[in-house]
């Protein structure tokens, strides 16, 4: 299974990954609307925080609006009631609510734009153990 893997030592904190993600998913450049986060640890350290497809959000959803399909956790917007329990269940705080619907990284259908446009390798798309 492939997943996003953060490489904090490579991250420069430019937040370009957040900008690309928000543009692709929300049609506007707003890092707060991105499906990943760059956290400032200290003056010289930034940490990419990404969805690991762990599935904790699936357990938190009372509507069965979240499922795992070929290793990718997906949210069915039609079934989502906007309760936010999946947001609370996410150990990485990368699920957000947009117009009362939960949204998260869907790996851009197998070609994550955050990885494609990260020139420093702060986030990579790699094989991981399931």
The three-state secondary structure class of 22 is helix
Q: What is the mean pLDDT of the chain?
A: 95
The number of angstroms, rounded, from the C-alpha of 71 to the middle of its chain's C-alpha atoms is: 14
Reported pTM: 0.89
- Residue spans of the domains in the chain: they are 1-50+106-130, 53-104
Handedness of CA 95, 98, 103, 105 (dihedral sign): negative
Average pLDDT over residues 19-43: 94
Query: Is residue 130 pLDDT above 80, yes or no?
Result: no
Look at domain 1-50+106-130 and name its CATH class.
Answer: alpha beta
pLDDT of res. 129: 85
Look at domain 53-104 and name its CATH class.
Answer: alpha beta
pLDDT tens sequence across 68-124: 999 999 999 999 999 999 999 999 999 999 999 999 999 999 999 999 999 999 999
């Amino acid at each position: 299974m492939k997943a996003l893997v953060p490489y904090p030592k490579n991250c420069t904190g430019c937040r370009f990954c957040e900008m690309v993600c928000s543009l692709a998913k929300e049609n506007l450049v707003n890092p707060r609307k991105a499906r990943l986060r760059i956290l400032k640890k200290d003056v010289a350290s930034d940490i990419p925080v990404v969805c690991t497809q762990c599935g904790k959000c699936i357990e938190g959803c009372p509507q069965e609006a979240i499922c795992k399909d070929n290793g990718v956790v997906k949210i069915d917007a039609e079934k989502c009631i906007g309760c936010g329990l999946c947001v609370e269940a996410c150990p990485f705080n990368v699920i957000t609510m947009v117009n009362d619907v939960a949204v998260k990284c869907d790996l851009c259908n197998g070609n994550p734009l955050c990885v494609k446009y990260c020139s420093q390798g702060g986030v990579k798309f790699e094989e991981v153990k399931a």
